[in-house]
């Protein structure tokens, strides 16, 4: 509101402590808080009174008309949004009557969804089994390599051959 930072508030607090004194400081802050609360309440009341006066005089309708005249695409989209909201309020997609076409389609969709979920679960299980088999094979190969001992590099001379210089 007054655009005071932490350092400014700290300076004001220290000055208030020196001027008022530590004994009366809490009482002063309480009174200042009450005053600020009353001022905010009065500002809020004034703002709501102005909004009510604007509603009664039709200023909002004029502003809406001006907005429509200056930006017809936005106004058309606002109308579409309002219609969609009204439609969403009147139609509940989670309820259906079993004997209707919507009910039949809902049942079919539910069955298809279950089939998709089952196929996905089966695919995931097969993938995990494949990964487990690959990990097991990799571990067995690593164990076999450890048991075989250290291998010599391809470019290292063997024990019976002479190194070329």
CB 158 within 8 A of CB 152: yes
Residue pair 30/37 in contact by the 8 Å Cβ criterion: no
- And the tokens for 67? 């907005």
| Range name among 12-16, 72-76, 138-142, 158-162 with the lowest pLDDT average | 158-162
Confidence band for 165, pLDDT divided at 50, 70 and 90:
very low
Give Cβ neighbours of residue 25 (< 8 Å, ≥ 6 apart): 16, 17
The residues, any chain, with a CB within 8 Å of residue 152's CB and separated by 6 or more, are 158
First to last CA, the chain: 86
Note the pLDDT tens digit of each residue in 9-25: 889 888 888 888 888 88
pTM of the complete model = 0.32
Q: Residue 162's pLDDT is what?
A: 53
Q: What are the pLDDT digits (tens) for 78-130?
A: 777 887 777 766 666 566 666 777 778 888 888 899 999 999 999 999 999 99
């Amino acid at each position: 509101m007054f655009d005071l930072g932490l350092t400014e508030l700290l300076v004001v607090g220290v000055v208030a402590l020196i001027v008022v004194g530590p004994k009366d400081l809490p009482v002063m802050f309480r009174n200042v808080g009450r005053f600020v609360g009353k001022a905010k309440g009065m500002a809020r009341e004034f703002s709501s009174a102005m909004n009510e006066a604007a509603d009664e005089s039709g200023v909002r309708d004029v502003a809406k008309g001006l907005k429509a005249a200056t930006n017809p695409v936005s106004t058309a989209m606002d109308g579409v949004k309002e219609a969609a909201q009204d439609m969403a309020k009147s139609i509940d997609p989670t309820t259906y009557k079993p004997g209707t076409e919507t009910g039949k389609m809902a049942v079919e969709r539910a069955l298809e969804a279950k089939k998709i979920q089952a196929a996905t679960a089966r695919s995931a299980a097969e993938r995990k089994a494949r990964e487990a088999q690959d990990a097991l094979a990799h571990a067995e190969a690593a164990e076999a390599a450890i048991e075989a001992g250290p291998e010599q590099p391809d470019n290292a001379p063997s024990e019976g051959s002479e190194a070329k210089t």
